[in-house]
Amino acid sequence: MSELEDLEKRLKELTVERNRLARETKSLHELIRRAKVATTTMATLRSVLSEEKSRQEKYLGLLLENCSDIIIMLDRDGRFAYCTEVFLKKAKIPNFGLVNYRTAMEVFPYFGRKAILRLARAYRQAMEQNVDRHLDMRLDLANDGSFRDY
């Protein structure tokens, strides 16, 4: 084979290689474009979801702030996570910070063992069954002798 033939053969190989690289480069550019679109879409979706979550939290906050019922929300450990202002007023507790992350026994030691055990049992059942629980009890929230049905 002559030197010219070797060069022509090498030129063909390089042309094939260049064409392959051009296809791969085009494919990579398309992947990058798609990744940018996906990233932009995800960022937009996160923003929309965040705004919606914020809107719903604000609505729920307003709803709970203006609720005339006593509502107490406990975390999985049975500690206060939220309560309505009505509850705080009835229990004569000046602010939520005094009950936040405390158990019912810590907040109401005067309820007595029987009432606390009943509350604990109802709470445990609600957690195990993953359901809301309604419990009727006669309590003296303010510890002033004024028992009421709750």
State the pLDDT at residue 100.
94
State the pLDDT at residue 121.
83
Q: Is the Cβ–Cβ distance between 139 and 115 less than 8 Å?
A: yes
Element (H, E) at 121: helix 113-129
Q: Is the pLDDT of residue 1 over 70?
A: no
CA distance 84 to 87: 5
Q: Is the Cβ–Cβ distance between 108 and 99 less than 8 Å?
A: no
Task: Report CA-CA distances (Å) from 144 to 88, 140, 148, 149.
Answer: 15, 7, 11, 15
CA distance 140 to 138: 7
Tokens of 123: 């709470």
Start-to-end CA span in the chain (Å): 103
State the pLDDT at residue 141.
78
| Residue-wise pLDDT tens digits, 81-123 | 999 999 999 889 999 999 999 988 888 877 777 777 888 888 8
| Residue-wise pLDDT tens digits, 23-80 | 999 999 999 999 999 999 999 999 999 999 999 989 988 888 888 888 888 888 888 9
State the pLDDT at residue 94.
93
Mean pLDDT of 117-136: 81
Provide the CA 64 distance to its chain's centre, in angstroms.
18
Tokens of 104: 């019912």
Q: What is the mean pLDDT of the chain?
A: 87
Cut 0.75: pTM above it: no
